[in-house]
């Protein structure tokens, strides 16, 4: 039986595939095998294939993590390059140029908060994570598109109070 991989080991593997991706990366199935322009159909050799292959690789790496990994860590790790970051033994929400203009920023997620953040992420995607940050900071993002996303979740809970996490 193999030793379970640490979060740091898994994230290093995930970053290695992310760093090698591009619109038409040489590592993709079928790239360079077309013999004329008609064979380049946008699925076999284009962005769709790149995207599909990327997530096949992500799934394979996360499957290698072992059963010791909980579903929240798997969820955060799958999106680690873009929304979440693992640092100093805990997850963080990346908020660079999100809450404030020209600001490198983040919000720590304690172990006790992971389930809540994952729930919002599963329900609303990025907007749910930003809503959670709004609850922590008791403010809205200054960037209009992100403020609109948070306001959308606020409006959802206003129209559906029974679905609000604050309504037990």
Task: For the chain, give the percent of residues with pLDDT over 70.
Answer: 58
Mean pLDDT to the nearest integer, 153-164: 86
22 to 27, 28, 50, 54, 162: CA distances (angstroms): 9, 10, 7, 10, 43
Dihedral sign for Cα atoms in the order 97, 52, 87, 92 = positive
Mean pLDDT of 148-165: 87
pLDDT, tens only, 33-46: 555 444 444 445 55
The continuous run of DSSP H or E covering 57 comes out as: helix 47-63
Buried-state track 115-125, b at ≥16 Cβ within 10 A, e below 16: ebbbebbeebe
pLDDT at 30: 53
Look over the chain and give the mean of its residue pLDDT values, rounded to a whole number.
75
Q: Both tokens of residue 159?
A: 């129209």
- The whole-number average pLDDT for the span 148-158 is 94
């Amino acid at each position: 039986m193999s030793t379970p991989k640490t979060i740091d080991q898994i994230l290093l593997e995930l970053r290695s595939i992310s760093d090698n991706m591009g619109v038409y990366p040489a590592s993709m199935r079928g790239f360079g095998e077309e013999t004329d322009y008609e064979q380049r159909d946008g699925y076999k050799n284009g962005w769709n294939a790149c995207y599909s292959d990327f997530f096949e690789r992500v799934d394979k790496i996360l499957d290698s993590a072992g059963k010791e990994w909980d579903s929240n860590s798997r969820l955060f790790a799958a999106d680690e390059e873009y929304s979440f970051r693992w640092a100093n033994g805990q997850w963080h929400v990346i908020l660079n140029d999100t809450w404030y203009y020209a600001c490198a920023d983040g919000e720590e997620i304690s172990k006790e908060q992971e389930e809540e953040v994952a729930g919002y992420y599963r329900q609303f995607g990025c907007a749910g994570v930003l809503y959670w940050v709004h609850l922590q900071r008791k403010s809205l993002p200054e960037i209009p598109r992100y403020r609109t996303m948070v306001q959308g979740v606020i409006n959802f809970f206003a129209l559906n109070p029974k679905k609000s996490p604050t309504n037990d």
